[in-house]
Structure 1
């Protein structure tokens, strides 16, 4: 319990400490220095996320990072727990934004940082809004911002892989960027396995070979979600 309390104190103190940097990022955005804004945002966000993981006592092993293409990609990952976003943000060395749940907009400072990262926020109870967000995310991909999506739609809170939501990978096809499957193993042990108590754990992040989305036949496009699902499932079981 003490570790959990200290972690949340650290979480908010760190955010307050980087508030001057956030003001600078806001200014860069207003004056149109977008590349500098993006560079600074990615660096600060990565450092913050990695520090949160280390403060929680988590050991991270990442394999396959050399498989990530140099250009824009869509990362597709399973979703075991609340720590998945900081894990991917901190330990995959490529600027990225997330398709996140709309509830995160309620958290002060977090929503501002995520907005500068080009994250989009989905309300899965609203089909029309969800479709709009998918189109928005596809446009971000076309503009050169790599994205992360959790197609299960919610945390599995364990080792099982949930069914992918229909249409969750359409933005990859819309943008024509490679899909990079990511498997997270063990993140549920940090919090979900213990109720709301944070405990040290060993987490593995496994990056699979990228899957191209451009030039696919209609049949190949239809099979794409199952192909991504199988790669993640295989890595989860290995």
Structure 2
């Protein structure tokens, strides 16, 4: 790899590699030390093609979720079986992994700009801006950039667009799936909301069992399934379909909502 070789977004791969190594070493203890990350599905990661893969996940913090996925994906590709033990896997990280994030979030500080360089596809949210509800058109350049990232490698997206559980999925994800026909891999995470603050930068509580389940790719009829059918399939796959609410105790749902209110006022 040439010293100044760039990815399609103009990011120097040599620099990106070192950012992933350094950030990986700094954050590793958050998932194997302060807390414990339980993983299922490493074999799924190893069987995926090198490009045009879309990971679709529920969302619990701004950054801790995606950082954990960088750890798990690279550890799995290095042959570790459902484990991130021994951070040697960071030496040769997969550099064509991207994640979808709100542009306004990624511009807020030097740290978020560093995280953005490591793989963010920054998009303008159509429903929310600077803490206020908005209603604006999707930027076609955002859709195009996601397509460029899929052509180059793997993309992680959180289609609910919020860390609040049980919110409807944004239909833009289904449009991307129908347009670019990626391999769609569902990911279900838990424990991150209890471990970290809302931003996922500060360890809020230690000794929490976190979990990440990587499921087999979805069987999608790209040409014949409707947007709504794909959305419903995604909701079931990441365990955020409204039917899941019927089996969750009311007290637990109230606790979720109260926790989110408290985090909102503290941030």
Same fold, TM-score > 0.5, yes or no:
yes
Structure with more helix by fraction: 1
Measured after TM superposition, the shift of residue 134 of structure 1 is 2.2
Alignment check: 8 A CA contact 1:96 1:147 kept: yes
Are 2:39 and 1:38 aligned?
A: no
Measured after TM superposition, the shift of residue 39 of structure 1 is 6.6
Can you give the 5+ residue segments of structure 1 that lack an aligned partner in the other structure? 1-24
Q: Distance in 1 between matches of 2:185 and 2:230?
A: 12
Measured after TM superposition, the shift of residue 121 of structure 1 is 3.1
Summarize the Cα distance change of 1:216–1:197 in structure 2 as closer, same or farther, 3 Å threshold: closer
Q: Distance in 2 between matches of 1:161 and 1:38?
A: 37
Q: Distance in 1 between matches of 2:209 and 2:224?
A: 40
- Alpha carbon RMSD of aligned pairs, Å? 3.5
Q: Distance in 1 between matches of 2:222 and 2:138?
A: 27
1:115-163, CA deviations, whole angstroms, 9 ceiling, x for partnerless residues? 3535323333463354431221112212x2211110111102xxx4321
- Stretch of structure 1 that moved more, 180-189 or 54-63: 54-63
Aligned to 1:12: none
Can you give the 5+ residue segments of structure 2 that lack an aligned partner in the other structure? 75-93, 129-134, 249-267
Alignment check: 8 A CA contact 1:97 1:114 kept: no
- Where do 1:109-128 residues align within 5 Å? 109-115=111-117, 117=119, 119-124=121-126, 125=128, 127-128=136-137
Q: Distance in 2 between matches of 1:129 and 1:234?
A: 24
Measured after TM superposition, the shift of residue 34 of structure 1 is 4.7
Aligned to 1:52: 27
Alignment check: 8 A CA contact 1:49 1:90 kept: yes
Measured after TM superposition, the shift of residue 202 of structure 1 is 1.4
Q: Distance in 2 between matches of 1:137 and 1:109?
A: 23
- Where do 1:18-167 residues align within 5 Å? 28=3, 31-32=4-5, 34=7, 37-38=12-13, 41-42=16-17, 44-45=19-20, 48-49=23-24, 51-55=26-30, 57-68=34-45, 69-72=48-51, 73-82=53-62, 83-93=64-74, 94=94, 95-102=96-103, 103-115=105-117, 117=119, 119-124=121-126, 125=128, 127-142=136-151, 144-156=152-164, 160-167=165-172
Aligned to 2:178: 173
Q: Distance in 2 between matches of 1:178 and 1:146?
A: 9
User: What TM-score does the superposition give when structure 1 sets the normalisation length?
Assistant: 0.70
Q: Distance in 2 between matches of 1:210 and 1:183?
A: 13
User: What TM-score does the superposition give when structure 2 sets the normalisation length?
Assistant: 0.64
Measured after TM superposition, the shift of residue 225 of structure 1 is 1.8
Measured after TM superposition, the shift of residue 67 of structure 1 is 1.3
How many residue pairs get matched? 205
The SS at the match of 1:92 is: helix
Q: Distance in 2 between matches of 1:118 and 1:197?
A: 22
- Which of 183, 188, 200 lines up with 1:183 in the alignment? 188
Deviant stretches of 4+, over 4 Å: 33-37, 234-238
Q: Distance in 2 between matches of 1:128 and 1:167?
A: 11
Measured after TM superposition, the shift of residue 53 of structure 1 is 4.6
